[in-house]
Amino acid sequence: MSKAKVLKLSKSIIVKSLLLLVCAMAAVTIGGTYYFANRQTQMALESTHEANKVHLQQMSSTLHNEMFQFGNQLMLLAKTSEIKSMDPSISTSYLKSYNISPLFISGEKISLFGRNNSLICDNSMIASVPTKYPIDFSKITPHRLHISGWYRDSDNMRPKRAFATVVADNAKGNGSLIASFSAQRLWKILSESKVGKKGYYVAINSNGEIIFHPDLETWLTGHHKISELGIKNFNPKNDETKNIKFYTLSNGETYLANYVYDAAYDIGLLSLQPKSEIDEQVSSLLLVSKVMLAAALVIILLISFWLYRMLVLPMGRLIQHTIEISEGDMEAEDIDLGKRQDEIGILAKHFNIMHHTIKRQIAELNAHREMLEQEVQERTKELEEANKKLDLISRTDELTGLPNRRDMLRTIDNEIQRVTRTRKPFCFIFIDIDHFKNVNDTYGHACGDEVLKHVAATIRNLLRKYDVLARYGGEEFLTLLPETDLEGAKIAAERFRKTIEDTTVIFGKLSIKVTITLGVSQYDHALGADRSIQMADRALYEGKENGRNRVIIWEPERTSQEDYKAAEMERDSRK
């Protein structure tokens, strides 16, 4: 290599850049480590707060479900024949039976009252003073639980609530079934749960009265407010924590707090995790950051030494190699870099031709690629539109524009999954046009099509926005009524029947009166969708046999054991 092509180390831009790079990396590493430590500290705090929030929501949901199940059990008991009889002997034996006793824990009472609010019996095993419940009997209404506020018995300071429901008896008049719900049920759940390693939960009501604290002897032997813990000016109904909040309690220790209030059952849940526990996690992160900083500085020094050996020293050989390649047949255009004699100047001079060549080729390739991408997008858009049309065709009845049988079955499957969560009833209405064959035979199929479209449009206009009407086959239609019991479905079906009866189908110069027969059934989980629809179909054909133009309700008690067995066999065969 000639002297003109050999660079002195002091003139090397690579050496200068390397020194600048080392200083910059050191500064960035130190600053980054500092930022990382602070950020990790904040993230650890936010992560702990968010995790506690999620656990708190889960715990609140668990307590909600516990009281919800208690209320449901009470309503189910109120519907039993033994309770509805309101016979002192029968009801007393039933409430004290081994079937009912496990439903209640120690300290909980259940009492049956007559229509004059007089006590009939309770579940006391020995004669005792009748339990007094803080219940206004005038507020106990059918189909809905009435729940009192939290209270304490004079002989048992454990917090309780009274749940009350109506006992319906047409012969003797309505009575009331009242049970006390003990907070001890919630204590067991809360005492077995921890917030972090050393934290705990505190439960309060809307008045700020403590319902649960892990130190039962101190805080639950009498009436205590949350303010006595050291949390002042706390509003149990509105102080749900959305941001990170710390409380210093009366014991002098600071806690990270999360709070949620369940208005349905008047219970607020406060999670408290010691700040010292979080500080231990942060200290570990800071130690890790320091170790990372030391390691990063060592790595920078090693990389610098490696770059010197792997980049600076070989660069002289690389420059000579580049010159030899650039002295070929390719025509090069000079790059004006002044009097620069460093490596970058030499590389820029001899890579200029390759740069422009590659740039031109890349431009050509990009233009071709854009053309191909545009063509692909156009084809993709056409395919998507075609798929949407095919999907709509596959789910829609062409004549009436209603969902077809296939789409209705999919809708029913979705509704079954939804009611599994909500436990709300839904019903089917099977509809058949009376004497439709006579219409086709007398006026022709075109007139029959007009009748089908008229019936479909008329009933569809009577539906709620979430009801579904589908053409199930021929002149048969199936209606799905979500969140509707048999009584509501009966009213809707009668409205359908009456509206069709009162309207006239106009076909050319003809005025044709048509009627429909409807069968109504409620979805029965034990039967499944297909069999529940069959019950509506049976009711429909019963209406056909009894003169048509009527609504027939399939009452659940009409379903035979053979139907249930057949449904079970069908489910087993599909497994």
Please give the positions annotated as active site. 475
Instruction: Look up residue 32 and give its DSSP letter.
Output: H
User: Alpha-carbon distance 545 to 542, whole Å?
Assistant: 5
Q: Which residues share a beta bridge with 178?
A: 111, 164
Q: How far is residue 379's CA from residue 377's CA, in Å, rounded to a whole number?
A: 5
CA pseudo-torsion sign 162, 163, 167, 168:
positive
Q: Is the dihedral of CA 217, 218, 220, 222 positive or negative?
A: positive
Q: How many CB atoms lie within 10 A of CB 126?
A: 4
CB 432 within 8 A of CB 476: yes
Q: Which segments of 124-215 does DSSP mark as H helices, in order?
A: 184-191
The 3-state secondary structure of 117-149 reads CCEEEECCCCCCCCCCCCCCHHHCCCCCCEECC
- End-to-end Cα separation, the chain, in angstroms: 83
Length of the chain: 575
CA–CA separation, 76 vs 429, rounded Å? 28
- Residue 113 and residue 175 in contact, taking contact as beta carbons nearer than 8 Å: yes
CA-based nearest residue to 451, from 440, 463, 461:
440
How many CB atoms are located within 10 Å of the residue 65 CB? Answer: 10
DSSP 308: I
Q: How many CB atoms lie within 10 A of CB 532?
A: 25
Containing 414, the helix (H) or strand (E) segment is helix 405-422
Cβ neighbours for 213, distance < 8 A, ≥ 6 positions apart: 200, 202, 203, 219, 220, 224
For residue 124, what are the CA distances in angstroms to 23, 101, 148, 518, 568?
84, 10, 21, 52, 42
Helices (H) and strands (E) in the chain, counts: 14, 18
